[in-house]
Amino acid sequence: MAYAVETATARRGFFVARTGISCLPGRVVSFRFMEWSLRTAEELVAALRAGAVTSVELTDEAIARIERDDEVINAICVPDFDRARAAARRADQARARGEERPLLGVPVTVKESYDIAGLPTTWGMPPHRDHVPAEDAVQVSRLKDAGAVVLGKTNVPLGLQDIQSFNEIYGTTTNPWDRGRTSGGSSGGSAAALASGFGALSIGSDIAGSLRTPAHFCGVYAHKPTLGLAATRGMVPPSEPALPADLDLAVVGPMARTACDLTLLLDVMAGPDPLTHGVAHRLALPPSRHQRLGEFRVLVLDEHPLIPTGAAVRAGVNRVAATLADGGAPVARHSPLLPDLTEAATLYMQLLISGSVARFPMESYEPPGADDRSLDAERLRALAFSHRDWLAANHRREVHRDAWRRLFTEFDAVVCPITPTPAFPHDHHPNPLERHIDIDGTEYPYFDQLVWAGVATMPGLPATAVPAGRSAEGLPVGVQLIGPMFEDRTPLRLAELLEQKMGGFRPPKQDRSRLGRAVSG
């Protein structure tokens, strides 16, 4: 696990000379326990190429960190350490033969909902605790083909249908910044793993902010790709076959500790399913519209007509807006081109709920009153949507998509919240409809906080979640950068530029004298 000082010094000098990256600026010490765990994937690839470290060493260190810290975080619900060590050995042997692949030897994690041959895929549902697929999901295959070392699977909520990550099989994932708060959902295990140094990258999924919300709550990065950009086969409930279906609203996407790493992983994930396109090929995404911060035309939103924005999140949005303005970017706060957010939220709830419950029998249904136009009422109506109802909602979605196309002729990106608050305390009330979200002292329906996620999800737009500082309590706060359809590289590039100006991920400091307690760092 530790190197001799002489070996570490020699390796570090070679690494810096070859890459220009100094892992330990200004001092020379041995590469001891945890030296690499919070480095970026980009840095790890450079270090591996330079011979400063081996994949076996990175993998052993990541496993040691998980074994030390995950008892209280509970991010890694299905470890796969023996196969990870074997994959790391193969990666080192491949590199010794001169092979180069985008993620060769880099330790990563995978959301539990992806099929990995030989590991359980349960979606947190007890009846499926023994379901073990025989084949990898297409995105797991792409990770492995790129040379990544899969450490294991990360925790999810029951059926992936919550803004928290807990279930009867694997328990509760806590937030590395505050164990009394949620890490988010449904990719909460992946976000907590990244913030804790359990692998350099992770893959998740998003239909209701499931990539973006955990990133926001845990202080890391995530990217919700354009709908249809990345193949989803094998990210399927355990009761269903892994077919190459085109999902509505739902996407799979990358999570990381830097914006550059998001792009690195998206390039591995992007592309159609080979079962439907004959061969596996990557989509040629257009480049970012701009390369310099001052060139981006940005619309900034911090208010939604259906739910207030908490002070901590509003401050995060304003920090990003100020950084953009200081960098010379034209920033607007209003635009007549913006689609109606109230109708957008209603359409989103109709499409989300009708699609989510379509496979389940309706035991009883009591429609809300005709005058009740709350989001709760819209969710209830969507439970009994007919195909005709869905087609009408889908038509309105196309009208909104057209409006977004017109907006993106005047703007390059939209900055807005991901949820109205930072991470909230664990709330495991068995009936989610009885839960509430506290926004600066006032309670609102629990699922109303999804309206910000729906701004990008309903029309299928790409959105990048980026850290935007911390709340007064020291909790991470993130915002999302929404871009034009299939122009994912535009919000990703803007995320990189903001990271350079504002800083990005900062790990929570751990109070080792009291195991499991996180303090602001």
Instruction: Show which residues are catalytic.
Output: 111, 186, 210
Q: Which of 487, 495, 490 shows the shortest CA–CA distance to 226? A: 487
Q: Write the CA distances from 219 to 175, 201, 334, 423, integer angstroms.
A: 10, 14, 28, 10
Beta strands 174-175 and 178-182 are: antiparallel
CA atoms of 471 and 473, how far apart (whole Å): 5
CA atoms of 215 and 498, how far apart (whole Å): 16
Number of neighbours of residue 66 by Cβ within 10 angstroms:
25
Omega before 186 within 30 of 0, i.e. cis: yes
CB 349, CB 454: distance < 8 Å: yes
- Residue 9 host element (H or E): helix 5-19
Length of the chain: 521
Residue 506: what are its φ and ψ, rounded to 5°?
A: -130, 125
Up-side HSE of residue 273: CA atoms within 13 Å toward CB? 17
Burial group, residue 343, by CB count within 10 angstroms (0-12, 13-18, 19+): middle
Q: Which residue has the tokens 């020379």?
A: 28
CA atoms of 427 and 432, how far apart (whole Å): 9
* Structure token digits, residue 240: 């269903």
CB 306, CB 345: distance < 8 Å: yes
DSSP 127-156: GGTT---SS--HHHHHHHHTT-EEEEEE--
